Chain A
Amino acid sequence: MFDVFPPALIMLGGALLIGLTRGHLRNLFVLGTPLVTLWAVWQIPDGVAATVSFLDYMIEPIEGSPVRRLFATIFAVMAFGGGLYAFRQAKWYELAAAYIYAAGAIGVSFAGDLITLFLYWELMALFSTVVVWCGSTPGSRAAGIRYAIMHLLGGVILKVGIEGVVVHTGSIDVQPMLATNFDTWMILIGILINAAAPPVSAWLSDAYPESSPTGSVFLSAFTTKTAVLALILLFPGEPVLVGIGLFMVMYGIIYALLENDVRRILAYSIVNQVGFMVCAVGIGTQMAINGAAAHAFAHILYKALLFMSAGAVIYRTGFSKCTDLGGLFRTMPLTAVCGIIGALAISGFPLTSGFTTKTMISQAAADESLMFVYFMLAAASAGVFLHAGIKFPWFVFFQKDSGLRPKDAPWNMSAAMVLLSVLCIVLGVFPNLIYDYLPYPVDYVPYTAGKVLFYLQLLLFSGLAFFLLLPLMKRTLTISLDTDWLWRVLAFRIATKGYVFFASLGISLQTRIGGGLNALRNRAEMHFGSRMPKAGVFARSWPIGTTALWIAVLLTGYVLVYVL
């Protein structure tokens, strides 16, 4: 039945032990669990490694393949990085919830069938909600509820699709499909909701910035990237994804440019980066799928690094808005340097992991002669540098002197940031470390002089644009409306109006019907009632003689009718 031990269960067990233990033992479990899980991930061979019979279905809880191992690896590494970053600051239940959330992500990575995939998918939805709630503010409570509604709704849509596929094809296998009928569309939509695709991208920038400084590090890693993996496994080459991806790329940039809250800027840039991957899955060639997988791997590292840097600032200062921050490089140099490394990596500067992975996606577009896609991605690369690469470090660490002189990050937060910074650079300098583990053989050379020069021009002149346009980017104390306005305001207004309408309708009906009923009752009382001064005709007691007479009359009538 089981040839190997399921890595997701190790993670789950670790999460439970975090809750049961205290002190150093708990720290041991926080730091040790992801490492044991990582080891277990690498024990999983290619192909189905475990089967369980459930009802009439053959469940395949563990199926190995290079791309599945790649994602599970980065999820385990991320759990370790997040655990290291958080274990002295976060509450134990936040850590436990985050680890169960990570277990869900690892479980999805190895899910060989749609039922297993769905179960782990929902596990992620539930426990990521708990992580959002661990922000412990009224704002995080409300945002967590909105987050949960969105993801449970997405889960229902996914489930509808899975049921449809199982009923109509009889197969529960996780295998490539195209969105050609209702069932597959439902699955695609269910996955895309988790990928923060339009029109519901807003859940991400709504929920993640409300979590605790440590919680957002975990949140940034798992949900959207498992969705990318699910797309790679289920919908490679689905053409609609190209357009959706490009929209996400541009949406993320534009909204991040308008944003004032540091973590919300980073949240929008998750949508932007996932857009690159979704677009690549849509292109669907071997180069593109390699690019999507590699980019997801690199992205988790540098995005977590950016959230760590922002989290350390928020942890030390209590501020999260660009307008409150600035000049922190003076006293938080390590956090600043690590944040800048993350910012360079997300922008895809040469010698960082962003360059060696993101350019594969552009290459895939060029190979397929997708000119519009190629130029949009190039513009987006410039835009990423603009909104995340410079804007984030500039407004937090430089800009003006905010007068804040916080201490640098605590040692464990610093250690986690240094670890991820090193990984970002190592993957940029030695791209083969990741190329060797991609789903398809890699025929791509990232470092040609021409390519490096092209991207340097692109990025550095974006930098010039940033500083020349600084007056236009003055931060204001505002938020920007997003599609969540539709359900947070419009739907609320409609619901309120509807409630008032139906309530008044009810009252008027009540008065009218009530009046009618009263009249009816009075009539009934008149005929049947006995409490009136003169009892109703049917409620009076009649003498026996009268009754006998009436019976005789009736019987006579009956006999007559019968005879005739």
Chain B
Amino acid sequence: MNDNKEQDHWLARPSTIRKLWWVFSAVLALTVVAQVFIYVKGYFGADGWFGFGAVFGFLSCLAMVLFAKGLGFFLKRDEDYYAAGDDDV
């Protein structure tokens, strides 16, 4: 299984990854387009809008990542932060 660049696992080859992106994009598009044919019940109005799940999922992830990133500026510490002041460990 040890490999040089040419013989890397098929899943790790750039060509495969490019293809995967195409497939993934097609699936994404399909899930949105499918809403033309499939009725999504909205409990609060907005969640029944066309493509709401897609937009909401994407935006909430964006918000969470950015929020975590921002919080990280204040909360991130070196790995041995606790060990440094602790003779016991």
A138 near B88: Cβ-Cβ < 8 Å: yes
B79 at the interface (CB under 8 A from A): yes
A181 at the interface (CB under 8 A from B): no
B40 near A382: Cβ-Cβ < 8 Å: no
Q: Which residues of A contact B82 (CB under 8 A)?
A: 479, 488-489
A480 near B76: Cβ-Cβ < 8 Å: yes
Measured CA separation A382–B35 after assembly (Å)? 19
Mask: chain A, 471-498; 1 = CB below 8 Å from B; 0 = not = 0110011111110000011001000000
With A374-B44, A469-B65 known as contacts, the answer to whether A329 contacts B11 (CB < 8 A) is yes
User: How far in angstroms is the closest Cβ of chain B from A508?
Assistant: 28
Measured CA separation A464–B53 after assembly (Å)? 13
Q: Which residues of A contact B57 (CB under 8 A)?
A: 382, 457-462, 465
Q: Which residues of A contact B32 (CB under 8 A)?
A: 457
Which chain A residues in 261-308 approach chain B with CB under 8 Å? none
Q: Which residues of B contact A369 (CB under 8 A)?
A: 44
Looking at the complex, which one of B9, B40, B58, B72 makes contact with A453 (CB distance below 8 Å)?
B40
Name the prevailing secondary structure of the A interface residues: helix
Q: Which residues of B contact A454 (CB under 8 A)?
A: 40, 47, 52-53
B79 near A479: Cβ-Cβ < 8 Å: yes
B86 near A142: Cβ-Cβ < 8 Å: yes
Mask: chain A, 351-387; 1 = CB below 8 Å from B; 0 = not = 0000000000000001001010011001100110010
With A461-B28, A464-B58 known as contacts, the answer to whether A453 contacts B38 (CB < 8 A) is yes
With A330-B9, A386-B65, A454-B40 known as contacts, the answer to whether A461 contacts B76 (CB < 8 A) is no
A401 at the interface (CB under 8 A from B): yes
B76 near A476: Cβ-Cβ < 8 Å: yes
Measured CA separation A454–B53 after assembly (Å)? 5
Looking at the complex, which one of A254, A472, A479 makes contact with B76 (CB distance below 8 Å)?
A479
- List the interface of chain A (C-beta within 8 A of B): 138-139, 142, 250, 253-255, 257-258, 327, 329-331, 366, 369, 371, 374-375, 378-379, 382-383, 386, 398, 401, 405, 448-451, 453-466, 469, 472-473, 476-482, 488-489, 492
Minimum-distance CB pairs A-B, first 10: A457-B53, A465-B61, A379-B60, A458-B57, A366-B43, A257-B68, A461-B57, A457-B54, A450-B40, A382-B57
